[in-house]
């Protein structure tokens, strides 16, 4: 859903809620390294 933005009575602040899921580079790199262990000639799987 897109973030909820409600402009209410002056004394009320604008309310914004945001959720960010970070997929760290470190995991992406590890997974790339792990993928290579599955190729045939290594005979590991």
User: Shortest gap between Cβ of 34 and another protein (angstroms)?
Assistant: 5
Using CA atoms, how far apart are residues 26 and 33, in angstroms rounded to an integer?
11
Q: Which of 7, 9, 39, 41 binds another protein (CB under 8 A)?
A: 7
Beta bridge partners of 6: 15
Using CA atoms, how far apart are residues 33 and 9, in angstroms rounded to an integer?
54
Chain mean position to CA 23: 4
* Position 9 contacts another protein (CB under 8 A): no
* Position 22 contacts another protein (CB under 8 A): yes
Give the interface with another protein as residue ranges (CB under 8 A). 1-3, 5, 7, 12-27, 29-31, 33-35, 37-38, 42-45
């Amino acid at each position: 859903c897109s973030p909820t933005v409600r402009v209410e009575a002056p004394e009320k602040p604008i309310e914004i809620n945001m959720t960010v899921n970070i997929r760290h580079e470190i995991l992406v790199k590890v997974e790339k390294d792990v993928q290579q262990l599955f190729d045939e000639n290594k005979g590991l799987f």
